Amino acid sequence: MNPGVQGAFPVTIIGVGNMGAAMAQRLCALGWSPSVHDLVPQKVQDLLPFGAVARADVAQAASKSVATILAVVNVAQVREVLFGAHGIAPQLPPGHVLLLCPTLGPQDVEDIAHTLAQQGVDVVDAPMSGGPARAREGRMSLMVAGPAQALERVRPLLEALANPVFRIGTRAGDGARTKLVNNLLAGINLVGAAEALALAHWLGLDQGTTLDVIERSSGQSWIGVDRMRRALAGDLAPRAHMTLLHKDTGLALDAAAAAGFSGPLGASTHAVFAAALQAGLADLDDAALLGFLQGT
């Protein structure tokens, strides 16, 4: 037997954009054949050659799965999928495990987990990091929090999707809290990298050479090097839309305010992303920050 199939069980993925599609491809490569659903039918069709399965009734597909992965964009979409006019929540049976993979506010995760727990459905708070390429290879990271029995029930799925899998704890929302801390730093690092390379431009330096130095020196950050390489190549096709870190840094600031904390960099970083959106860069990759900050 293919070792990837060992421990496999029925899984539904709702939302097969960049990350959802990458997770579906990863599971297909390991023989899982997940059911997939998206509001854009072509995204579903693109996954069928890999071995994914399209289901006409997504709620029924989820109800027959051991676990459902929500890989939509924000809490509004999560709530619509679960509790909207055609929401799947009423059909989820006791013992079902729902994995919440978007970056959400901790209170939203707690509220959703509390609501679903009343019908015996376990929520695993499972925000992800690493991008589509790593997700396709099973090398993204997952920050999971939820009931111990639910985490054990879906352990083969978690291990198929991610390496590493960080077990944050059992409190709903702690995965989200951890992801927001990470993404606030990612946003700070990205804005810093873009500002530094913009300065290199204005100083008359070769930006590629400067980035080579940064990559091997104390200024290195993964997101900074990854995005600035793309920016210098003129590749702004969205792998991570500018809107995402704008949303996530805002959620991090909300969480900080709720905890009574205020730092010196978060608000200014969020303001840079807000200005980039105001300048019309919402549909571009966040690598577009370089051109935005250097004024080209």
247 a catalytic residue: no
From the list 43, 64, 179, 247, the catalytic residue is 179
Integer Cα distance of 21 and 219 in angstroms: 33
Integer Cα distance of 296 and 290 in angstroms: 8
Burial of 120 (0-12, 13-18, 19+ CB in 10 A): exposed
Beta strands at 162-169 and 11-14: parallel, antiparallel or unpaired:
unpaired
Among 239, 234, 167, 232, residue whose Cα is nearest residue 200:
232
DSSP string spanning 173-237? Answer: THHHHHHHHHHHHHHHHHHHHHHHHHHHHHTT--HHHHHHHHHTSTT--HHHHHHHHHHHTT---
Cβ count within 10 A of residue 261: 10
Provide the CA 226 distance to its chain's centre, in angstroms.
17
Hey, which residues are catalytic here? 179
